Structure 1
Amino acid sequence: MFDNLCKFLAESFSEDYAAWLLGRPIKLTKLSPTELSLEPIRADSLILEQSEDLVLHLEFQTEPDPTMGFRMLDYRVRVYRRFPQKTMHQFVIYLKRSSNDLVYQDSFQVGETLHRYQAIRLWEQPSEAFLQSPGLLPLAVLTQTSDPTLKLREVATALEQIEDNRVKANLMAATSVFGGILLAPELIKTILRSEIMKESAVYQEILEEGKIAGKLEGRLEGKLEGKLEGKLEGRLEAKLETIPLLKKLGLTITEIAKELDIDVELVNRFVANQNN
Protein backbone atom coordinates (compact mmCIF):
# COMPACT_ATOMS: atom_id res chain seq x y z
CA MET A 1 0.00 0.00 0.00
CA PHE A 2 2.89 2.40 0.67
CA ASP A 3 3.99 2.04 -2.96
CA ASN A 4 0.56 2.98 -4.27
CA LEU A 5 0.23 5.90 -1.87
CA CYS A 6 3.62 7.29 -2.82
CA LYS A 7 2.77 7.02 -6.51
CA PHE A 8 -0.56 8.72 -5.93
CA LEU A 9 1.06 11.64 -4.10
CA ALA A 10 4.01 12.09 -6.47
CA GLU A 11 1.82 11.95 -9.57
CA SER A 12 -1.09 14.01 -8.21
CA PHE A 13 1.14 16.69 -6.70
CA SER A 14 4.11 16.57 -9.06
CA GLU A 15 4.85 20.29 -8.72
CA ASP A 16 5.11 19.98 -4.93
CA TYR A 17 7.60 17.13 -5.26
CA ALA A 18 9.58 18.92 -7.96
CA ALA A 19 9.79 22.05 -5.78
CA TRP A 20 11.03 19.98 -2.83
CA LEU A 21 13.54 17.82 -4.69
CA LEU A 22 14.58 20.01 -7.63
CA GLY A 23 14.11 23.45 -6.12
CA ARG A 24 11.48 24.60 -8.61
CA PRO A 25 7.79 23.70 -9.17
CA ILE A 26 8.04 22.02 -12.56
CA LYS A 27 4.94 20.55 -14.16
CA LEU A 28 5.68 16.86 -14.70
CA THR A 29 3.80 14.07 -16.43
CA LYS A 30 3.93 10.34 -15.80
CA LEU A 31 6.50 8.34 -17.73
CA SER A 32 5.43 4.74 -18.16
CA PRO A 33 8.13 2.08 -17.58
CA THR A 34 6.97 0.44 -20.81
CA GLU A 35 8.47 3.39 -22.71
CA LEU A 36 11.90 2.22 -21.57
CA SER A 37 11.72 -0.92 -23.73
CA LEU A 38 12.43 -3.39 -20.92
CA GLU A 39 10.30 -4.67 -18.08
CA PRO A 40 10.92 -2.77 -14.83
CA ILE A 41 12.79 -4.56 -12.05
CA ARG A 42 10.13 -3.58 -9.53
CA ALA A 43 7.24 -1.77 -11.19
CA ASP A 44 5.32 -1.48 -7.91
CA SER A 45 7.84 0.91 -6.36
CA LEU A 46 8.97 2.74 -9.50
CA ILE A 47 7.93 6.37 -10.02
CA LEU A 48 9.05 8.06 -13.23
CA GLU A 49 7.93 11.54 -14.29
CA GLN A 50 9.15 13.83 -17.01
CA SER A 51 9.13 17.30 -18.50
CA GLU A 52 10.50 18.43 -21.84
CA ASP A 53 14.09 18.40 -20.64
CA LEU A 54 14.30 16.15 -17.57
CA VAL A 55 13.22 12.87 -15.98
CA LEU A 56 12.54 12.53 -12.25
CA HIS A 57 12.98 9.04 -10.81
CA LEU A 58 11.71 8.35 -7.28
CA GLU A 59 11.93 5.23 -5.15
CA PHE A 60 10.17 5.30 -1.77
CA GLN A 61 11.43 2.67 0.67
CA THR A 62 10.28 1.55 4.10
CA GLU A 63 13.26 -0.81 4.45
CA PRO A 64 16.83 -0.78 3.07
CA ASP A 65 17.33 -2.70 -0.16
CA PRO A 66 20.79 -4.07 -1.04
CA THR A 67 19.90 -4.02 -4.76
CA MET A 68 18.99 -0.33 -4.78
CA GLY A 69 22.28 0.93 -6.22
CA PHE A 70 22.11 -1.42 -9.18
CA ARG A 71 18.47 -0.54 -9.79
CA MET A 72 19.30 3.15 -9.93
CA LEU A 73 22.09 2.54 -12.45
CA ASP A 74 19.87 0.24 -14.48
CA TYR A 75 17.11 2.83 -14.81
CA ARG A 76 19.59 5.58 -15.59
CA VAL A 77 20.86 3.57 -18.54
CA ARG A 78 17.34 2.72 -19.69
CA VAL A 79 16.27 6.36 -19.61
CA TYR A 80 19.43 7.44 -21.44
CA ARG A 81 18.75 4.87 -24.15
CA ARG A 82 15.24 6.29 -24.68
CA PHE A 83 15.86 9.99 -23.91
CA PRO A 84 19.59 10.71 -24.33
CA GLN A 85 18.98 14.46 -24.39
CA LYS A 86 17.18 14.61 -21.03
CA THR A 87 18.76 15.24 -17.65
CA MET A 88 17.80 12.65 -15.04
CA HIS A 89 17.41 13.22 -11.30
CA GLN A 90 17.19 10.13 -9.08
CA PHE A 91 16.14 9.98 -5.44
CA VAL A 92 15.70 7.15 -2.96
CA ILE A 93 13.44 8.35 -0.15
CA TYR A 94 13.49 6.32 3.05
CA LEU A 95 10.30 6.56 5.09
CA LYS A 96 11.17 4.58 8.21
CA ARG A 97 14.08 5.44 10.50
CA SER A 98 16.95 2.98 10.23
CA SER A 99 20.57 2.77 11.33
CA ASN A 100 21.40 0.36 8.51
CA ASP A 101 24.34 1.58 6.43
CA LEU A 102 22.33 0.97 3.26
CA VAL A 103 20.12 4.01 3.87
CA TYR A 104 23.26 6.15 3.49
CA GLN A 105 24.29 4.54 0.22
CA ASP A 106 24.12 7.03 -2.66
CA SER A 107 26.30 5.40 -5.30
CA PHE A 108 26.90 2.11 -7.07
CA GLN A 109 30.15 0.93 -8.61
CA VAL A 110 30.88 -2.04 -10.81
CA GLY A 111 34.34 -2.18 -12.35
CA GLU A 112 35.21 1.31 -13.55
CA THR A 113 31.57 2.37 -13.76
CA LEU A 114 30.45 4.66 -10.93
CA HIS A 115 26.85 5.89 -10.68
CA ARG A 116 25.60 8.43 -8.14
CA TYR A 117 22.10 9.28 -6.98
CA GLN A 118 20.58 10.97 -3.93
CA ALA A 119 19.39 9.24 -0.76
CA ILE A 120 16.94 11.12 1.46
CA ARG A 121 16.12 10.01 4.99
CA LEU A 122 12.84 11.66 5.92
CA TRP A 123 13.61 11.64 9.64
CA GLU A 124 16.48 14.05 8.91
CA GLN A 125 14.40 16.46 6.83
CA PRO A 126 13.15 19.77 8.34
CA SER A 127 9.36 19.83 8.51
CA GLU A 128 8.69 23.37 7.29
CA ALA A 129 8.57 22.65 3.54
CA PHE A 130 6.34 19.63 4.10
CA LEU A 131 3.81 21.62 6.11
CA GLN A 132 3.57 24.27 3.40
CA SER A 133 2.84 22.00 0.42
CA PRO A 134 -0.38 19.93 0.25
CA GLY A 135 1.22 17.01 -1.55
CA LEU A 136 3.94 16.70 1.09
CA LEU A 137 1.66 16.94 4.13
CA PRO A 138 1.16 13.15 4.52
CA LEU A 139 4.94 12.70 4.83
CA ALA A 140 5.42 15.51 7.36
CA VAL A 141 4.82 13.26 10.37
CA LEU A 142 7.89 11.23 9.32
CA THR A 143 10.19 14.25 9.15
CA GLN A 144 12.57 15.58 11.79
CA THR A 145 10.73 15.88 15.11
CA SER A 146 11.04 14.95 18.76
CA ASP A 147 7.26 14.63 19.06
CA PRO A 148 5.48 12.80 16.20
CA THR A 149 2.11 13.31 17.90
CA LEU A 150 2.53 17.07 17.91
CA LYS A 151 3.69 16.94 14.30
CA LEU A 152 0.58 14.99 13.32
CA ARG A 153 -1.56 17.65 15.00
CA GLU A 154 0.21 20.31 12.94
CA VAL A 155 -0.50 18.29 9.79
CA ALA A 156 -4.16 17.91 10.79
CA THR A 157 -4.44 21.68 11.22
CA ALA A 158 -2.94 22.25 7.78
CA LEU A 159 -5.25 19.66 6.22
CA GLU A 160 -8.31 21.40 7.63
CA GLN A 161 -7.34 24.52 5.66
CA ILE A 162 -7.75 22.69 2.34
CA GLU A 163 -11.05 23.73 0.78
CA ASP A 164 -11.41 20.93 -1.78
CA ASN A 165 -13.04 18.10 0.21
CA ARG A 166 -11.88 15.41 -2.20
CA VAL A 167 -8.26 16.51 -1.94
CA LYS A 168 -8.58 16.87 1.83
CA ALA A 169 -10.02 13.36 2.19
CA ASN A 170 -7.30 11.75 0.09
CA LEU A 171 -4.49 13.55 1.89
CA MET A 172 -5.99 12.80 5.29
CA ALA A 173 -6.24 9.09 4.49
CA ALA A 174 -2.66 9.06 3.22
CA THR A 175 -1.51 10.88 6.35
CA SER A 176 -3.21 8.27 8.48
CA VAL A 177 -1.39 5.42 6.74
CA PHE A 178 2.04 7.07 6.92
CA GLY A 179 1.39 8.15 10.49
CA GLY A 180 0.89 4.49 11.34
CA ILE A 181 4.63 3.95 10.86
CA LEU A 182 5.24 5.85 14.11
CA LEU A 183 1.94 6.16 15.96
CA ALA A 184 -0.82 3.86 17.19
CA PRO A 185 -4.04 3.77 15.13
CA GLU A 186 -6.11 4.71 18.18
CA LEU A 187 -4.10 7.90 18.64
CA ILE A 188 -4.27 8.78 14.96
CA LYS A 189 -8.05 8.44 15.05
CA THR A 190 -8.30 11.05 17.81
CA ILE A 191 -6.43 13.55 15.62
CA LEU A 192 -7.66 12.85 12.08
CA ARG A 193 -11.35 12.70 11.18
CA SER A 194 -12.13 9.18 9.98
CA GLU A 195 -15.54 10.13 8.56
CA ILE A 196 -13.80 12.31 5.97
CA MET A 197 -11.25 9.63 5.11
CA LYS A 198 -13.97 7.12 4.28
CA GLU A 199 -14.95 9.26 1.30
CA SER A 200 -11.43 9.25 -0.13
CA ALA A 201 -10.14 7.34 -3.14
CA VAL A 202 -7.28 6.13 -0.94
CA TYR A 203 -9.69 4.50 1.51
CA GLN A 204 -11.72 2.92 -1.28
CA GLU A 205 -8.56 1.56 -2.90
CA ILE A 206 -7.55 -0.17 0.33
CA LEU A 207 -10.94 -1.85 0.49
CA GLU A 208 -10.83 -2.75 -3.19
CA GLU A 209 -7.35 -4.25 -2.87
CA GLY A 210 -8.62 -6.53 -0.13
CA LYS A 211 -11.59 -7.63 -2.21
CA ILE A 212 -9.56 -8.24 -5.38
CA ALA A 213 -6.82 -10.08 -3.51
CA GLY A 214 -9.48 -12.19 -1.83
CA LYS A 215 -11.02 -13.20 -5.14
CA LEU A 216 -7.66 -14.04 -6.72
CA GLU A 217 -6.35 -15.99 -3.75
CA GLY A 218 -9.67 -17.75 -3.38
CA ARG A 219 -9.65 -18.86 -7.01
CA LEU A 220 -6.06 -20.09 -6.75
CA GLU A 221 -6.59 -22.02 -3.54
CA GLY A 222 -9.87 -23.37 -4.85
CA LYS A 223 -8.14 -24.71 -7.95
CA LEU A 224 -5.32 -26.21 -5.95
CA GLU A 225 -7.65 -27.90 -3.50
CA GLY A 226 -10.53 -28.47 -5.87
CA LYS A 227 -12.93 -27.44 -3.12
CA LEU A 228 -15.24 -24.58 -2.24
CA GLU A 229 -13.43 -24.34 1.10
CA GLY A 230 -10.28 -23.34 -0.72
CA LYS A 231 -12.00 -20.38 -2.35
CA LEU A 232 -13.56 -19.24 0.89
CA GLU A 233 -10.32 -19.53 2.87
CA GLY A 234 -8.38 -17.58 0.25
CA ARG A 235 -10.89 -14.74 0.25
CA LEU A 236 -10.99 -14.60 4.02
CA GLU A 237 -7.20 -14.55 4.35
CA ALA A 238 -6.91 -11.61 1.95
CA LYS A 239 -9.58 -9.70 3.85
CA LEU A 240 -7.77 -10.29 7.12
CA GLU A 241 -4.56 -8.91 5.62
CA THR A 242 -6.41 -5.65 4.95
CA ILE A 243 -7.25 -5.15 8.64
CA PRO A 244 -3.95 -3.46 9.69
CA LEU A 245 -4.35 -0.78 7.02
CA LEU A 246 -7.96 -0.12 8.01
CA LYS A 247 -6.86 0.21 11.63
CA LYS A 248 -4.29 2.80 10.55
CA LEU A 249 -7.15 4.70 8.98
CA GLY A 250 -8.79 4.80 12.40
CA LEU A 251 -11.65 2.35 11.90
CA THR A 252 -13.04 0.53 14.92
CA ILE A 253 -13.28 -3.26 15.10
CA THR A 254 -17.00 -3.05 14.37
CA GLU A 255 -16.48 -0.75 11.39
CA ILE A 256 -13.78 -3.02 9.96
CA ALA A 257 -16.01 -6.07 10.28
CA LYS A 258 -18.82 -4.24 8.50
CA GLU A 259 -16.62 -2.96 5.67
CA LEU A 260 -15.07 -6.39 5.04
CA ASP A 261 -18.32 -8.27 5.69
CA ILE A 262 -16.80 -10.63 8.24
CA ASP A 263 -17.57 -11.53 11.85
CA VAL A 264 -16.57 -9.03 14.56
CA GLU A 265 -15.11 -11.79 16.72
CA LEU A 266 -12.89 -12.88 13.84
CA VAL A 267 -11.51 -9.35 13.54
CA ASN A 268 -10.97 -9.24 17.30
CA ARG A 269 -8.99 -12.48 17.25
CA PHE A 270 -6.89 -11.33 14.32
CA VAL A 271 -6.03 -8.03 16.02
CA ALA A 272 -5.23 -9.81 19.29
CA ASN A 273 -2.86 -12.18 17.50
CA GLN A 274 -1.17 -9.25 15.76
CA ASN A 275 -0.55 -7.57 19.11
CA ASN A 276 1.00 -10.69 20.68
Structure 2
Amino acid sequence: MAYDNICRYLAQAYPFAFVSWLLNVEDIEIQPLPTELSLEPIRSDALYLLPNRGQILHLEFQTIPSSSPPLPLRMLDYWVRLYRKYDCPIEQVVIFLKQTKSPIVYVEQLAVGRTIHPYRVVRLWEEDPTPLLENPALLPLAILARTDTPEVLLRQVADKIDSIEEREEQQNISVCTEILARLKFNKNLIRQFLQEDLMRESPLYQEILQEGELKVVFRLLNRKLGNIEPNLQSKIQQLSSEQLEALEEALLDFSVKQDLINWLENYQ
Protein backbone atom coordinates (compact mmCIF):
# COMPACT_ATOMS: atom_id res chain seq x y z
CA MET A 1 0.00 0.00 0.00
CA ALA A 2 1.40 3.46 -0.95
CA TYR A 3 2.18 5.97 1.78
CA ASP A 4 -0.52 8.28 0.40
CA ASN A 5 -3.05 5.44 0.71
CA ILE A 6 -2.24 5.03 4.40
CA CYS A 7 -3.00 8.72 4.87
CA ARG A 8 -6.24 8.40 2.89
CA TYR A 9 -7.26 5.58 5.22
CA LEU A 10 -6.51 7.72 8.29
CA ALA A 11 -8.35 10.74 6.87
CA GLN A 12 -11.41 8.63 6.05
CA ALA A 13 -11.41 6.72 9.34
CA TYR A 14 -10.73 9.72 11.59
CA PRO A 15 -12.19 12.87 9.98
CA PHE A 16 -12.53 14.77 13.27
CA ALA A 17 -8.82 14.37 14.00
CA PHE A 18 -7.82 16.03 10.72
CA VAL A 19 -10.45 18.78 10.84
CA SER A 20 -9.60 19.74 14.42
CA TRP A 21 -5.85 19.71 13.68
CA LEU A 22 -5.90 21.67 10.41
CA LEU A 23 -8.70 24.12 11.22
CA ASN A 24 -8.01 24.37 14.98
CA VAL A 25 -11.63 23.69 15.95
CA GLU A 26 -13.07 21.34 18.54
CA ASP A 27 -16.84 20.79 18.58
CA ILE A 28 -17.91 20.75 14.93
CA GLU A 29 -20.22 18.74 12.73
CA ILE A 30 -18.48 16.91 9.88
CA GLN A 31 -19.99 15.23 6.85
CA PRO A 32 -17.51 13.25 4.69
CA LEU A 33 -18.14 13.78 0.97
CA PRO A 34 -17.56 11.48 -2.02
CA THR A 35 -13.95 11.92 -3.11
CA GLU A 36 -14.52 11.23 -6.83
CA LEU A 37 -15.37 14.42 -8.70
CA SER A 38 -17.42 14.69 -11.88
CA LEU A 39 -16.40 15.29 -15.51
CA GLU A 40 -13.23 13.36 -16.35
CA PRO A 41 -13.03 11.41 -13.09
CA ILE A 42 -10.39 12.47 -10.59
CA ARG A 43 -10.34 11.37 -6.97
CA SER A 44 -9.26 13.60 -4.10
CA ASP A 45 -7.69 12.14 -0.96
CA ALA A 46 -10.23 13.46 1.56
CA LEU A 47 -13.24 15.79 1.47
CA TYR A 48 -15.24 16.99 4.49
CA LEU A 49 -18.32 19.18 4.49
CA LEU A 50 -18.52 21.32 7.65
CA PRO A 51 -22.20 22.38 7.77
CA ASN A 52 -21.81 24.69 10.77
CA ARG A 53 -19.15 26.69 8.97
CA GLY A 54 -20.62 26.40 5.47
CA GLN A 55 -17.23 25.20 4.30
CA ILE A 56 -15.46 22.23 2.69
CA LEU A 57 -12.04 20.98 3.81
CA HIS A 58 -10.09 19.27 1.00
CA LEU A 59 -6.91 17.28 1.77
CA GLU A 60 -4.23 15.99 -0.58
CA PHE A 61 -1.31 13.84 0.64
CA GLN A 62 1.93 13.86 -1.35
CA THR A 63 4.97 11.64 -0.94
CA ILE A 64 6.75 12.66 -4.16
CA PRO A 65 6.57 16.41 -4.93
CA SER A 66 6.33 16.13 -8.71
CA SER A 67 3.13 14.93 -10.37
CA SER A 68 1.34 15.01 -13.71
CA PRO A 69 -0.45 17.31 -14.08
CA PRO A 70 1.53 19.55 -11.71
CA LEU A 71 0.10 19.91 -8.21
CA PRO A 72 -0.89 23.63 -8.47
CA LEU A 73 -2.98 22.90 -11.57
CA ARG A 74 -4.56 19.88 -9.86
CA MET A 75 -5.54 21.98 -6.86
CA LEU A 76 -7.25 24.54 -9.10
CA ASP A 77 -9.02 21.72 -10.96
CA TYR A 78 -10.26 20.24 -7.67
CA TRP A 79 -11.41 23.68 -6.47
CA VAL A 80 -13.39 24.46 -9.63
CA ARG A 81 -15.17 21.09 -9.58
CA LEU A 82 -15.95 21.34 -5.88
CA TYR A 83 -17.19 24.92 -6.06
CA ARG A 84 -19.36 24.18 -9.09
CA LYS A 85 -20.95 21.25 -7.23
CA TYR A 86 -21.29 22.64 -3.68
CA ASP A 87 -21.11 26.46 -4.11
CA CYS A 88 -19.36 27.16 -0.80
CA PRO A 89 -15.89 28.21 0.44
CA ILE A 90 -13.20 25.53 0.15
CA GLU A 91 -10.11 25.23 2.34
CA GLN A 92 -7.47 23.20 0.49
CA VAL A 93 -4.50 21.66 2.30
CA VAL A 94 -1.61 19.75 0.71
CA ILE A 95 0.32 17.63 3.23
CA PHE A 96 3.82 16.63 2.11
CA LEU A 97 4.99 13.49 3.91
CA LYS A 98 8.66 12.96 3.02
CA GLN A 99 11.31 15.58 3.65
CA THR A 100 12.85 16.96 0.49
CA LYS A 101 14.71 20.01 -0.74
CA SER A 102 12.57 20.19 -3.88
CA PRO A 103 11.30 23.75 -4.47
CA ILE A 104 7.91 22.25 -5.40
CA VAL A 105 7.01 21.76 -1.73
CA TYR A 106 7.32 25.53 -1.18
CA VAL A 107 4.88 26.43 -3.95
CA GLU A 108 1.56 27.43 -2.38
CA GLN A 109 -0.40 28.74 -5.36
CA LEU A 110 -1.04 28.44 -9.06
CA ALA A 111 0.03 31.66 -10.79
CA VAL A 112 -0.60 31.86 -14.53
CA GLY A 113 -1.18 35.33 -15.98
CA ARG A 114 -4.06 36.90 -14.01
CA THR A 115 -5.12 33.57 -12.53
CA ILE A 116 -3.95 33.20 -8.93
CA HIS A 117 -5.16 30.23 -6.91
CA PRO A 118 -3.67 29.82 -3.40
CA TYR A 119 -3.82 26.74 -1.20
CA ARG A 120 -2.27 25.80 2.11
CA VAL A 121 0.83 23.57 2.36
CA VAL A 122 1.90 21.51 5.37
CA ARG A 123 5.44 20.10 5.32
CA LEU A 124 5.29 17.49 8.05
CA TRP A 125 9.03 17.58 8.76
CA GLU A 126 8.60 21.23 9.83
CA GLU A 127 5.59 20.56 12.09
CA ASP A 128 5.72 20.52 15.88
CA PRO A 129 4.86 16.90 16.86
CA THR A 130 3.11 17.95 20.10
CA PRO A 131 -0.45 18.48 18.73
CA LEU A 132 -0.13 15.35 16.60
CA LEU A 133 0.85 13.28 19.64
CA GLU A 134 -2.32 14.32 21.42
CA ASN A 135 -4.65 12.49 19.02
CA PRO A 136 -4.26 8.73 18.39
CA ALA A 137 -5.41 9.08 14.77
CA LEU A 138 -2.54 11.50 14.06
CA LEU A 139 0.24 9.41 15.61
CA PRO A 140 1.30 8.04 12.18
CA LEU A 141 1.85 11.64 11.05
CA ALA A 142 3.60 12.58 14.29
CA ILE A 143 6.33 10.10 13.41
CA LEU A 144 7.22 12.33 10.43
CA ALA A 145 7.18 15.61 12.35
CA ARG A 146 10.12 17.82 13.36
CA THR A 147 12.63 16.33 15.79
CA ASP A 148 16.31 16.51 16.69
CA THR A 149 16.01 13.29 18.70
CA PRO A 150 14.36 10.63 16.49
CA GLU A 151 14.61 7.88 19.10
CA VAL A 152 12.78 10.04 21.63
CA LEU A 153 10.00 10.74 19.13
CA LEU A 154 9.71 7.05 18.26
CA ARG A 155 9.44 6.20 21.94
CA GLN A 156 6.77 8.86 22.49
CA VAL A 157 4.70 7.55 19.59
CA ALA A 158 5.13 3.93 20.70
CA ASP A 159 4.01 4.80 24.23
CA LYS A 160 0.94 6.59 22.88
CA ILE A 161 0.05 3.57 20.74
CA ASP A 162 0.42 1.27 23.76
CA SER A 163 -2.09 3.42 25.65
CA ILE A 164 -4.86 3.03 23.00
CA GLU A 165 -7.52 0.93 24.73
CA GLU A 166 -9.53 -0.38 21.76
CA ARG A 167 -7.55 -3.33 20.37
CA GLU A 168 -8.40 -3.07 16.66
CA GLU A 169 -7.79 0.69 16.61
CA GLN A 170 -4.46 0.13 18.37
CA GLN A 171 -3.47 -2.46 15.76
CA ASN A 172 -4.47 -0.30 12.79
CA ILE A 173 -2.74 2.82 14.12
CA SER A 174 0.36 0.71 14.73
CA VAL A 175 0.31 -0.51 11.10
CA CYS A 176 -0.07 3.02 9.71
CA THR A 177 2.70 4.32 11.97
CA GLU A 178 5.09 1.53 11.05
CA ILE A 179 4.56 2.04 7.31
CA LEU A 180 4.89 5.84 7.36
CA ALA A 181 7.93 5.60 9.64
CA ARG A 182 9.79 3.93 6.74
CA LEU A 183 9.85 7.32 5.02
CA LYS A 184 12.15 8.64 7.73
CA PHE A 185 13.73 5.88 9.84
CA ASN A 186 15.59 2.67 9.11
CA LYS A 187 13.74 -0.58 9.74
CA ASN A 188 15.97 -1.71 12.62
CA LEU A 189 15.29 1.48 14.57
CA ILE A 190 11.54 1.17 13.95
CA ARG A 191 11.56 -2.42 15.20
CA GLN A 192 13.18 -1.31 18.47
CA PHE A 193 10.11 0.70 19.40
CA LEU A 194 7.04 -0.57 17.53
CA GLN A 195 5.55 -3.99 18.30
CA GLU A 196 5.70 -6.14 15.19
CA ASP A 197 3.29 -8.75 16.61
CA LEU A 198 0.69 -6.02 17.26
CA MET A 199 0.98 -4.88 13.66
CA ARG A 200 0.70 -8.38 12.21
CA GLU A 201 -2.55 -9.03 14.11
CA SER A 202 -4.21 -6.02 12.49
CA PRO A 203 -7.00 -6.58 9.91
CA LEU A 204 -5.61 -3.57 8.06
CA TYR A 205 -2.21 -5.26 7.86
CA GLN A 206 -3.85 -8.34 6.35
CA GLU A 207 -5.51 -6.11 3.73
CA ILE A 208 -2.14 -4.55 2.93
CA LEU A 209 -0.55 -7.97 2.61
CA GLN A 210 -3.33 -9.17 0.33
CA GLU A 211 -3.09 -6.04 -1.81
CA GLY A 212 0.64 -6.63 -2.20
CA GLU A 213 0.13 -10.31 -3.04
CA LEU A 214 -2.49 -9.40 -5.65
CA LYS A 215 -0.06 -7.04 -7.38
CA VAL A 216 2.61 -9.74 -7.49
CA VAL A 217 0.18 -12.39 -8.80
CA PHE A 218 -1.21 -10.12 -11.52
CA ARG A 219 2.27 -9.06 -12.60
CA LEU A 220 3.41 -12.69 -12.87
CA LEU A 221 0.24 -13.79 -14.66
CA ASN A 222 0.45 -10.94 -17.18
CA ARG A 223 4.06 -11.80 -17.88
CA LYS A 224 3.33 -15.52 -18.23
CA LEU A 225 -0.09 -15.55 -19.94
CA GLY A 226 -0.63 -12.04 -21.29
CA ASN A 227 -3.47 -9.71 -20.25
CA ILE A 228 -5.95 -11.30 -17.86
CA GLU A 229 -9.64 -10.73 -18.69
CA PRO A 230 -11.77 -8.76 -16.18
CA ASN A 231 -13.89 -11.79 -15.23
CA LEU A 232 -10.75 -13.74 -14.27
CA GLN A 233 -9.33 -10.72 -12.44
CA SER A 234 -12.53 -10.53 -10.39
CA LYS A 235 -12.23 -14.19 -9.37
CA ILE A 236 -8.60 -13.74 -8.37
CA GLN A 237 -9.43 -10.66 -6.26
CA GLN A 238 -11.85 -12.77 -4.23
CA LEU A 239 -9.12 -15.21 -3.16
CA SER A 240 -7.79 -15.21 0.41
CA SER A 241 -4.13 -14.52 1.21
CA GLU A 242 -3.50 -18.27 1.56
CA GLN A 243 -5.12 -18.95 -1.82
CA LEU A 244 -3.10 -16.17 -3.44
CA GLU A 245 0.10 -17.74 -2.12
CA ALA A 246 -1.00 -21.09 -3.56
CA LEU A 247 -1.77 -19.45 -6.92
CA GLU A 248 1.59 -17.69 -6.95
CA GLU A 249 3.28 -21.08 -6.61
CA ALA A 250 0.96 -22.91 -9.06
CA LEU A 251 1.20 -20.34 -11.85
CA LEU A 252 4.85 -21.23 -12.38
CA ASP A 253 3.57 -24.36 -14.15
CA PHE A 254 0.90 -22.57 -16.22
CA SER A 255 1.44 -22.36 -19.97
CA VAL A 256 -2.00 -21.21 -21.25
CA LYS A 257 -4.93 -19.31 -19.74
CA GLN A 258 -6.96 -22.51 -19.50
CA ASP A 259 -4.53 -23.64 -16.80
CA LEU A 260 -5.52 -20.59 -14.75
CA ILE A 261 -9.22 -21.20 -15.41
CA ASN A 262 -8.90 -24.83 -14.32
CA TRP A 263 -7.04 -23.86 -11.16
CA LEU A 264 -9.67 -21.28 -10.20
CA GLU A 265 -12.50 -23.79 -10.81
CA ASN A 266 -10.82 -26.34 -8.57
CA TYR A 267 -10.43 -23.79 -5.76
CA GLN A 268 -14.04 -22.69 -6.06
TM-score normalised to structure 1 length: 0.76
- C-alpha spacing 1:116/1:190, structure 2 compared with 1 (3 Å): same
CA distance in 2, matches of 1:115, 1:202: 37
* Structure 1 counterpart of 2:205: 203
Question: Shift of the alpha carbon at 1:127?
Answer: 1.0
CA distance in 2, matches of 1:225, 1:206: 24
CA distance in 2, matches of 1:126, 1:28: 25
1:31-63 CA-partner distances (Å, limit 9, x unpaired): 2234x322344x3x6322223222211111112
* Structure 1 counterpart of 2:80: 77
Equivalent residues of 1:149, 1:183 under 8 A apart: no
* Structure 2 counterpart of 1:174: 176
* Structure 1 counterpart of 2:8: 7
- C-alpha spacing 1:138/1:225, structure 2 compared with 1 (3 Å): closer
Q: Give ranges in structure 2 of 5+ residues lacking alignment.
A: 229-235, 237-243, 250-268
* Structure 1 counterpart of 2:17: 16
1:178-201 CA-partner distances (Å, limit 9, x unpaired): 111111112211211111111213
Question: Shift of the alpha carbon at 1:27?
Answer: 4.0
Equivalent residues of 2:174, 2:199 under 8 A apart: yes
Question: Shift of the alpha carbon at 1:76?
Answer: 0.3
Question: Shift of the alpha carbon at 1:221?
Answer: 2.2
Question: Shift of the alpha carbon at 1:204?
Answer: 1.1
Equivalent residues of 1:131, 1:137 under 8 A apart: yes
**Structure number, greater radius of gyration:** 2
1:2-26 CA-partner distances (Å, limit 9, x unpaired): 1221011111111111111011143
CA distance in 2, matches of 1:116, 1:173: 34
CA distance in 1, matches of 2:7, 2:29: 17
Residue identity in the other structure for 2:156: E
CA distance in 2, matches of 1:105, 1:90: 14
Equivalent residues of 1:33, 1:40 under 8 A apart: no
Q: Give ranges in structure 1 of 5+ residues lacking alignment.
A: 227-234, 236-258, 264-276
Residue identity in the other structure for 2:40: E
CA distance in 1, matches of 2:162, 2:58: 31
Residue identity in the other structure for 2:46: I
Q: Secondary structure at the match of 2:144?
A: coil
Question: Shift of the alpha carbon at 1:225?
Answer: 9.0
Overall identity of the aligned pairs, in % = 36
* Structure 2 counterpart of 1:48: 47
Residue identity in the other structure for 2:78: Y
- C-alpha spacing 1:149/1:39, structure 2 compared with 1 (3 Å): farther
Question: Shift of the alpha carbon at 1:96?
Answer: 1.0
CA distance in 1, matches of 2:160, 2:97: 21
Equivalence map 1:130-169=2 (5 Å): 130-169=132-171
Residue identity in the other structure for 1:220: N
Residue identity in the other structure for 2:18: Y
Equivalent residues of 2:15, 2:32 under 8 A apart: no
Q: Secondary structure at the match of 1:97?
A: coil
* Structure 2 counterpart of 1:64: 65
1:39-96 CA-partner distances (Å, limit 9, x unpaired): 344x3x6322223222211111112125000000000000011001x22111111111
Does structure 1 residue 118 correspond to structure 2 residue 120?
Answer: yes
Q: Secondary structure at the match of 1:63?
A: coil
1:232-274 CA-partner distances (Å, limit 9, x unpaired): xxx9xxxxxxxxxxxxxxxxxxxxxxx96799xxxxxxxxxxx
Q: Secondary structure at the match of 2:226?
A: helix
CA distance in 2, matches of 1:260, 1:188: 27
